[in-house]
Structure 1
Amino acid sequence: MAVKADLIKFTKDELGITYEEATNYIEKEINFIKTIMKNGDKLVISNFGTFKTVKKGTLKHYNIVTQSVKNSPSHSIPQISFAKSFKKEIRKL
């Protein structure tokens, strides 16, 4: 399993920059993705996937004991859809 530190180390080694610069670079990329998704926009990365937010409607929760119904408010959830080419590449492993 890879973690964020592995991504930072890989970026540092590939670009020949310091660990702090690589950390800053990765943090800025993650914040950019978060900003796009918070605005309700999609981010499409060719041959990888699409980051987007999906709006979920209100849900009804039934309490059997009290015979009451409680509504939860609508909300947005993050979602990623991988590209077909990426899926095919992973399936070959």
Structure 2
Amino acid sequence: MNDIQQSFARQGLVRPRGSRLLGGVCAGIARRFQMGEWTARLLFVLILMVVPGSQLLIYPVLWILMPSEERVALVTPQPVHPATGGPAV
């Protein structure tokens, strides 16, 4: 599961902390594809209406697979200063 979340994070699919309505999935998709959050939410709902009930499966799965912004910040390795071995400033 961590490999999938790391892959999503490398692709820029993370759930931002500040602009969540429910889980932050649509806000993360909007940020990744550089569109407005409400535009992404509307497109998400319209696309999922093609297959009724799919939103009950797709949104929770994306919620689980897309890492939260804080988690990515905690997991991201900090650069190490070559002389001291400590964090580079």
Instruction: Place the TM-score, normalised by the shorter chain, in its bin.
Output: under 0.3
Ranked by relative contact order (alpha carbons within 8 Å, sequence separation 6 or more), the top structure is 2
Q: Which structure shows the higher strand fraction? A: 1
Larger Rg: 1
TM-score (norm 1): 0.27
Q: Which structure shows the higher helix fraction? A: 2
